[in-house]
Structure 1
Amino acid sequence: MKASNMPNPPIQNQPIGMGWLFKMVWRDSRKNRSRLLLFISSIVLGIAALVAVYSFKDNLQRDIDNQAKELTGADLIVESRRAVEPKTQQLLAKLGDDRSQERSFASMVYFLKGQGSRLVQIKALQGKYPYYGAIETSPTAAASSFQQGRNALVDQTLMLQFNAKTGDSIKVGDLNFAIAGILNKAPGQTGISATVAPTVYIPLSYLEQTKLTQIGSRITYRYYYQFKNADSLAQTIKKLDPKLEKEGLDIETVASKKEQTGRSFSDMSRFLALSGFIALLLGCIGVGSAIHVYIQEKLSAIATLRCLGLKARHAFLIYLIQISFIGLIGAILGAILGTLIQFLLPIVLKDFLPITISMQVSWLAIAQGILLGLIISVLFALPSLLAVRKISPLNAIRASFEHTVIKRGNL
């Protein structure tokens, strides 16, 4: 007998490579691709949420590190909730290469033209603060020139609320101030804080004349310092920290501000990431249930392959590869969608952020999302996939017999 007329050897006698397994994966998926796309959609949304949050967190941390000086406005800030003792004031007056001071408190202001009043945050400033970044005003020159006379910088929300214009007057305590400019932004100020407690800047030299600094007034005293030498700053902090702490004064530096801001927004990022992870888990539960139904429908095909000599582990690998590709495609699509969503988060959260966010693609977040999506989708499908290894070749005969019995019963 010629070799061409010999029967094909069973599958179990043939070496099975990865190429044959991938070919079977492709053939098996042809009739079920629409259903497989439904499985993918269950993963996409969860991965998109996670990648968007992780990318936003990475970009936020980078911008906090880059803009920490602009956020603080000075190299060193000394803060006190009560008036500083004269001896301590003499000590503070000798610090740094340049210094400014500010006193802030809540008070009412009265708009003379609009005849309206509003509770605001008064900040009486003296000096060139901020040393990093800027107080943004309209016109721009008002930020530096308002201290040269009895002038004020009024938050833009107040200007809109009372329909005020530059040149109008406001009354703070017993003193009237001309509005020299509109305050658009100040170091560390967010849109939501400006809405709750709008800021009004006045020169510190006129504060006593307003008669607002009396016994019982809740005033915060801040002293801002610029150090041109970083070593000098470190030595000053090390020397003064014990003394100032004993007198109830707080010290804040660029490093501490960076750490505090990063910690605050890290809590928000964790909450958003937890929400995204829960969405991913719910999606994967749906994937696990769908895969269970999908495998049940494939029992006859798997049993037929087992009759042809296919080993149980190879049948298991065919569907493991198929589900892995489903998870991988879903994770990639979710990562792409999440990367697009992250560019919308700064717009939504801009009123809560004290810094300007420059969004960039975070490859680390994309890699984390894809890997997590692949792992979780396989894990949730694994219980159903393990059942493939227990399918016997007799299932093909049993399924045919049961189908015949049911058909006769219907007749």
Structure 2
Amino acid sequence: MSGASSRAVWLPLAFRLALREMRGGLRGFYIFLACIALGTAAIAGVNSVSSAISGSIETQGQSLLAGDLRFQLRNRVATAEERAYFDGLGEVAVSAGLRSMARLPDGSDQALVELKAVDGAYPLYGTLETTPAARTADLLARDGERFGALAAPLLLERLGIRVGDDLLLGNARVRITATIDSEPDALSDGFGLAPRLMVSGEALAASGLVQTGSLVENQYKIRLDQPNAKKLSDIRKAAEKAFPSAGWSIRASNNATPSLTNNITRFSQFLTLVGLTALIVGGVGVANAVRAYLETKRGVIATFKCLGAPARLISAIYLIQIVLIAVIGIAVGLVLGAIIPLVATRFLEGVLPIPSQITLYPGALALAAAFGIITALAFAVMPLGHAREVPATALFREQGFERTRLPAWPYIAGAGLFLAALAGLAVWTAYDRYIAFVFLGAIAFAFVVLRFVAYLVTVLARRAPRVNSPALRLAIGNIHRPGALTPSVVLSLGLGLALLVTLTLIDGNLRRELTGSLPERAPNFFFIDIQRNDLDGFRKVLSDNMPGGKIVEVPMLRGRITAFNGEDVSRRNVPASGRWVLQGDRGVTYAKNLPENSTLASGEWWPADYSGEPLVSFSAEEGGELGLKVGDTVTVNVLGRNITARIANFRNVEWESLSINFVMVFSPNTFAGAPHAWLATMIDPRATAEQEANTLRAITNAYPTITSVRVKDALDIVNELMGQLATAIRAAAAVALVASVLVLAGALAAGNRARTHDAVVLKTLGATRTTLIRAFSYEYMMLGLATAVFALFSGGIAAWFVVSRIMTLPSSFLPDVAVMTVVIALVMTVGIGLAGTWRVLGQKAAPVLREL
């Protein structure tokens, strides 16, 4: 019979036998189902939430941008020629944004605000929702000497005021006419450090806040007639060609929030990789469950062989069962993954754009299903190969699979092929493929190290000195005897605990830096938009209120990098780590001498009286990421003019100090005569909260146009945001840990048959149940400690690398994390181990002894 004819006969037969055998239920496969369902649900849920938010951003682009196109200019308004160009495109809405101080009329309190001035056309798309509801123009209208203003509820709470009360904004007086419930373009405006205050353009002009060098963003939003992607792209190219030196940034409604979209994509990739970790950990559980299930089918397999069934028929029967059960687990996971966005959007509503109706995301679900089925097959093939080798004599004598031998080479090749497919899918779907490669390498290395840890524990147990306690002696013997649970337990818990330690240490170090040493090293205040003629008086007010403090002040302009060595930066292939330098405007300054918080990395600093071609000092780390070297040229657009400077040197910058730092420091002659403001910090570690409050009040009342930022308040906002991110990360880590628990339970279940034999023999020889319980407890305790040591060591190294090398922050090991890890490891191993073996201790001796 030919091969094709043979397959046509035995494949349908294998399918019928597989279905017939599954009529007995899924007993033995519950761990398998749970592991696959959990990992699949995590990946499906994360990617569905990401797709939901990204899809909403895309469909709500016009509302999120409040226009079809947005032209943004820093520190200047559009020229008459530019404004005429905008008007020729369509209806235009003009707004301006800056940070400023709003204060009570009696000068008793003040607060930093994100000020936004709009005209009568705002918003072109979307709706500005307020309480009470009314036309925006009416709410912002002038009433005598007062201007209407809209405020975020948080601002009213901070200042203890209500709708109808007055505030002072620079030199203008405003009256709060309503609170802002929803601002359509809030997300496209970017992350704010303070509550929103919205006024009219007339009120901003009356306030006197916009002066020479003020950090103000002027936006011109345009509503086009019948916009589409091609039209948006064509207009953008035409505008850049018509005004090559404008220095504006252009954003279209089909990419309204690129930073938010990129951050969501990056974060979802991270959570997807954590979910994949849970799935891979679950893969170990799949292997254990398949092995345990097939061991219960030894007699059936042996009977098939006695009746002349070929090995390929036996393999096909159980492969079909495995695939069908995997499909059930994946289906459960996909249902859970589809539900997760419904839950997540309830928490994200009002923070991020979310869909207005229930939607399924086939791409996210298909990706999760692909990960699930490939993982199930990758980890099930090897046990299936062992089952194929069961001899016919197993029908007549109790024996297990021969685990010291590898299965036939096709099964090894098949497992390798599926693992390669799993890795390829993870890399192919990753936003940052380098991170995916590193992740997969770390997982593979962790598996190798965990195998070595299990081997080392076995060797140490084998060479341990003889002890007097029978229970402890039995426990040590159980660790190194043939068929011991040591490899399964160490592998089951190791990866999940290591991931938990890594994420907890990263979170702990970041929180300690934000709430501990960083506030002590950081300045007390940042002061922005200081005019040259206010400098002397400003210094005096600061010195009077904080006499022990140190004032640092530097000139500041805003500029956008447009070219390196004459090449447009948009055509340059820049790694993700250095891309932020080219996104939008950067603060720039000039200096005669090397800044005190920097050190020279390469090149030479210019003389104090230098007057040659423009020179620039570039941050060493960012310059290296951008591929720059000493002698290259950098073109920066400042105040609508392109200035080209040659890189004279690179500096090592201490960004983590939160002091005044710049990517680029120019030679003083570069900006000779250019209008600019000043930036200053006040550093006084001994200052009290009352002293800081008095200083803030004095500066705001004396110089209402100077913006004051209290660093502690900004750190509190960042810390709150970090807490929200940490919650998501801990939830993802918990999924991996739950997978580890399931795998551990599966590993113990797989070893219950051998435990039953051991317990019966020992009880027959006189061992009591108490002795056996103590022996098992000692065994699980030693394995838990060994796994905890590995998790602390590997997780500590991984966290140190991320914190110190990637985030460039001080990293230290946290003792409470060590204690938590040890406790979790012991509770899981001892608790689950004893729960799994309790039934074993009650087995009757006679039935078991007859099978030996």
Deviation string for 1:10-60 (max 9, x for gaps)? xxxxx9655653454355446673321222111111111112123223333
Contact 1:346 1:357 in 2 (8 A): no
Contact 1:153 1:200 in 2 (8 A): yes
Structure 1 residues 121 and 354 mapped into 2: Cα distance closer, same or farther (>3 Å)? farther
Question: Which of these residues, 111, 115, 122, is aligned with residue 122 of structure 1?
Answer: 115
Contact 1:143 1:181 in 2 (8 A): no
Aligned to 2:211: 214
Structure 1 residues 267 and 245 mapped into 2: Cα distance closer, same or farther (>3 Å)? farther
Aligned to 2:361: 362
Aligned to 1:350: 349
Aligned to 2:150: 153
Structure 2: distance between partners of 1:191 and 1:347: 21
Question: Which of these residues, 39, 48, 70, is aligned with residue 63 of structure 2?
Answer: 70
Contact 1:48 1:338 in 2 (8 A): yes
Task: Give yes or no for the alignment of 1:185 onto 2:182.
Answer: yes
Structure 2: distance between partners of 1:143 and 1:79: 22
Q: Which moved more, 1:248-257 or 1:25-34?
A: 25-34
Q: Which moved more, 1:368-377 or 1:329-338?
A: 368-377
Contact 2:334 2:369 in 1 (8 A): yes
Structure 2: distance between partners of 1:191 and 1:239: 23
> Which protein has greater RCO, CA pairs closer than 8 Å, 6+ apart?
1
Q: CA deviation at 1:187?
A: 2.4
Structure 2: distance between partners of 1:66 and 1:266: 17
Q: Which moved more, 1:380-389 or 1:340-349?
A: 340-349
Structure 2: distance between partners of 1:266 and 1:83: 33
Aligned to 2:166: 169
Structure 2: distance between partners of 1:139 and 1:114: 28
Q: TM-score, normalised by structure 1?
A: 0.84
Q: CA deviation at 1:263?
A: 3.5
Contact 2:38 2:279 in 1 (8 A): yes
Structure 1: distance between partners of 2:136 and 2:71: 23
Aligned to 2:95: 102
Structure 2: distance between partners of 1:158 and 1:409: 78
Structure 2: distance between partners of 1:166 and 1:241: 44
Q: CA deviation at 1:178?
A: 0.8
Provide the aligned length of Structure 1 versus Structure 2: 394
Query: Partner letter of residue 69 of structure 1?
Result: Q
Structure 2: distance between partners of 1:93 and 1:25: 71
Map 1:238-387; keep pairs closer than 5 Å: 238-257=237-256, 261-350=260-349, 352-354=351-353, 358-387=357-386
Aligned to 2:74: 81
Aligned residue for 2:317, secondary structure, equals: helix
Structure 1: distance between partners of 2:51 and 2:350: 19
Contact 2:37 2:329 in 1 (8 A): yes
Aligned residue for 2:114, secondary structure, equals: strand
Aligned residue for 1:310, secondary structure, equals: coil
Give the fraction of aligned pairs with identical amino acids, expressed as a percent.
26
Aligned residue for 2:359, secondary structure, equals: coil
Contact 1:110 1:171 in 2 (8 A): yes
> Where do 5+ consecutive residues of structure 2 fail to align?
1-7, 400-756, 758-847
Structure 2: distance between partners of 1:382 and 1:373: 14
Q: CA deviation at 1:69?
A: 0.6
Contact 2:52 2:355 in 1 (8 A): no
Question: Which of these residues, 22, 45, 50, is aligned with residue 52 of structure 1?
Answer: 45
Deviation string for 1:294-348 (max 9, x for gaps)? 3234334312321122211111112111211221111111111111112112223
Structure 1 residues 285 and 112 mapped into 2: Cα distance closer, same or farther (>3 Å)? farther
Structure 1 residues 155 and 299 mapped into 2: Cα distance closer, same or farther (>3 Å)? same
Structure 1: distance between partners of 2:175 and 2:63: 28
Aligned to 1:131: 124
Contact 1:99 1:127 in 2 (8 A): no
Query: Partner letter of residue 178 of structure 1?
Result: R
Structure 2: distance between partners of 1:39 and 1:157: 50
Aligned residue for 1:166, secondary structure, equals: coil
Q: CA deviation at 1:68?
A: 0.7
Instruction: Note the aligned Cα RMSD (angstroms).
Output: 3.4
Structure 1 residues 284 and 359 mapped into 2: Cα distance closer, same or farther (>3 Å)? same
Contact 1:157 1:195 in 2 (8 A): no
